[in-house]
Amino acid sequence: MTLIASAGAFSLGDRTVNRMGYGAMQLAGPGVFGPPKDHAAALAVLREAVAIGVNHIDTSDFYGPHATNQVIHDALHPYPAGLTIVTKVGAVRGADASWNPAMTPADLTRAVHDNLRNLGQEVLDVVNLRVMGEVHAPSESSIEAPFSTLADLQRQGLIRHLGLSNVTSTQVRQARGIAEVVCVQNLYNLAHRADDALIEELAAIGIAYVPFFPLGGFSPLQSSALSEVAAELGATPMQVALAWLLQRAPNILLIPGTSSLVHLRENLNAAELVLPADAIATLNAIGGKP
């Protein structure tokens, strides 16, 4: 069995989670819209992830919408002790599967209650404010009003901890002036390295950094250098890409997603892969860093 603990652990507020987690986005239908293509398979993936040792699951009620959270509930409720479910709010899905901002107090309050209902929880473990905009480049704007709304809901006892998604360093500082921030979820992987400085900044103050699309997302990572390193190590390119992230900084938490049991096990096996210094140097060059 994969030793998830090999990758270490990190704190999300008063919760300690294994650094290798699971992202549930791909459990929804095509385009993250509609129910799973295979409901039984989705249940099996979630149950296997937890059985292997995953205790950090990332989700959102706008995946589906509602479908992913309902599958998590069907698979795992009542939730095992120690499982931390991190969700996000700030968007809604259109009938055409579009992703639309939903940042008013009413929008955010409704989203929190939707998550509570569909997950079957009385209190949400962690809620990230997802700031809509360009996926590859967060836009610099004030998040005081929406984050203050979430802070109010936290004070009401509906949320334990707060985080942010798709934000800049300035927005992190603004949010921390309102309430504690336990994690930041931004685009980052071998090929997209814009957040290098932000990762270091967060590490210094004990905030987790959770890269979304750690394997490239809708455009999977492709690199001859990555493939060559993987071949030398007897691993898959995706395992190497995940292992690189784990060795990049101690505050990085991984949430690779899949709807396949085979790919789930392959991804989680990256927790045990240690990259030698020469491999790391080769991989660093993919993102243009020495």
DSSP state of 105: H
117 token code pair: 């209902």
281 token code pair: 């140097």
How far apart are alpha carbons 184 and 130 in whole angstroms? 10
23 token code pair: 């992202």
**How many angstroms separate the Cα of 73 from the Cα of each of 10, 108, 109?**
25, 21, 21
Number of H helices, E strands in the chain: 10, 11
Would you mind telling me the total number of residues written for the chain in this entry? 290
Task: Choose among 133, 85, 127, 95: nearest CA to 110.
Answer: 127
Please check whether residue 268 is in contact with residue 2, taking contact to mean a CB–CB distance below 8 angstroms: yes
In the set 63, 79, 188, 209, the catalytic residue is 63
Q: Sort strands 15-18 and 22-23 into parallel, antiparallel or unpaired.
A: unpaired
Which helix (H) or strand (E) is 260 found in, with range? none
**How many angstroms separate the Cα of 263 from the Cα of each of 45, 147, 216, 256?**
10, 35, 15, 10
Quickly tell me which residue has 């069995």 as its tokens: 1
How far apart are alpha carbons 42 and 27 in whole angstroms? 6
Residue 63 is a catalytic residue: yes
202 token code pair: 């967060």
Residues with catalytic function: 63
